[in-house]
Chains A and B, each alone.
Chain A
């Protein structure tokens, strides 16, 4: 479990993190979203015990990070921003060092290292100095170090940054496989990642929590939620058909691919009505889809709205 209470970090007059409180339970994967400089990493550093908060507190697995740092750090696996590691060490040495510091001994030590190496596919590079590895491998070495002691709590700062699409998919599968009994926080810029792994998302900007919801709830805030998009062979005919559907509030046409998007009036469902109207008019539809909502649009609306408020105050 991870909990923060009014955790705040100030640098002089600049407030990087402003009284953030949240609680993450085992089985939850919390995604931290926010523009660069929003305070995501600073919050994670405070929870991990690397930075001391100006005020407020954080606890990991029930231990206060400031008053019981060792107990909290034992329960925690942390991947810092940029996945730093000792470049001159070979991967095997590095993981061995982490295992030793973590107090893993004998059979258990070998098992845990083998397990982490296997999960992140590091077998091929075990004897290579970390400095000579590609960005993707470095990131995976850092991840292997973070999950090495099978921690109850994981904090991963941009775990998939620098990975190719296949590797991203593997890391997401890895996080999902660990999600059942662990408490996990990840930060990311990638909204598709929120879909893929997070059961909950917090959007932060300018050090404050602007939204705290499930990915589906966030999508429901989108203008595109319950909208219907379609492409038709005859654009004009399709637009005329849609004009007959009473619950449609607006219609937009993408000038690039002539894709039509029909937005419903608040709280109405239009998918069935649109289908019927198109059929009745005999419009030939190449593609017809019900939109779930677009996270990137919600993200922009929420964070830019906040930036606008900041500028005014």
Chain B
């Protein structure tokens, strides 16, 4: 068992050793349900698909994922355990990856627990399960990108509240970049290429195309790159603090 795996196991276990996991999962399930049925008009649309369910995921993640990611490094710094962790024989990458994957797996578990809604649409009609599967995949990738951003910002402070706020703001800007309102605004003043570039940066654009059932390699690469870059930044930030 290598360092990444050991740290992954410890981290994931620690979510469930505290109320964090249960509070998060319950809130996530309640909110995703409430959004789907009340705001998304799940029944009234009369269609057997999960569009109303997935449409709200970016906004749900905007607040819930930073709540998970804020403790990733800020808590270790606050309690001093970061000193313990980084003087154990693990590389920086093993520590960064182990913690990230544990948080990602934890959100994955919460996402997987929404399965009753998948069963519901299959009971009510005959949805395109391929599209639903793709949407789940896109949602998970998007959560990973949110988390990687949160990991980096959490590493930059010992205060969890600061980490939370910074992450929400950063993620909000990245979401906003794909919002029609913003894009229309840029449309009026900038050439199409600029508008595309801004839209291309956004979570919403890439998530929307995956959740239509089109698993485009470019969208997947976008999320993988996003995760990679922000995790790399996490390692850089921790290294910088070491030398500060």
Contact = CB atoms under 8 A, between A and B. Distances in A.
Nearest to A47: B87
Nearest to B17: A88
B80 A50 contact: no
Contacts of B45: none
Given A100-B1, A100-B6, A86 B87 contact: no
A86 B10 contact: yes
Interface in B132-152: none
B120 interface: no
Given A52-B242, A88-B18, A81 B87 contact: no
Contacts of A76: 87
Contacts of B81: 84-86
Interface string B53-97: 000000000000000000000000001110110111111000000
8 contacts: A45-B83, A48-B83, A49-B87, A51-B242, A74-B89, A82-B80, A86-B14, A88-B18
B89 A84 contact: no
Given A48-B83, A80-B83, A145-B84, 17 more contacts: A11-B244, A50-B86, A50-B242, A51-B242, A51-B243, A70-B91, A74-B89, A78-B87, A80-B80, A80-B87, A84-B80, A86-B10, A87-B79, A88-B17, A100-B6, A101-B89, A103-B89
B127 interface: no
A50 B83 contact: yes
Interface string B1-45: 101001101100110011000000000000000000000000000
Nearest to A77: B87
Interface of B: 1, 3, 6-7, 9-10, 13-14, 17-18, 79-81, 83-84, 86-91, 242-244
A88 B81 CA distance: 12
Interface string A122-136: 000000010000000
A98 B14 contact: no
A22 interface: no
A102 interface: yes
A98 to B, nearest CB: 7
A84 B87 contact: no
Contacts of B83: 45, 48, 50, 80-81, 84
B239 to A, nearest CB: 8
A126 to B, nearest CB: 16
Contact of A85 (B6, B7, B84): B84
Nearest to B14: A88
B90 A101 contact: yes
B18 to A, nearest CB: 5
A93 B86 CA distance: 19
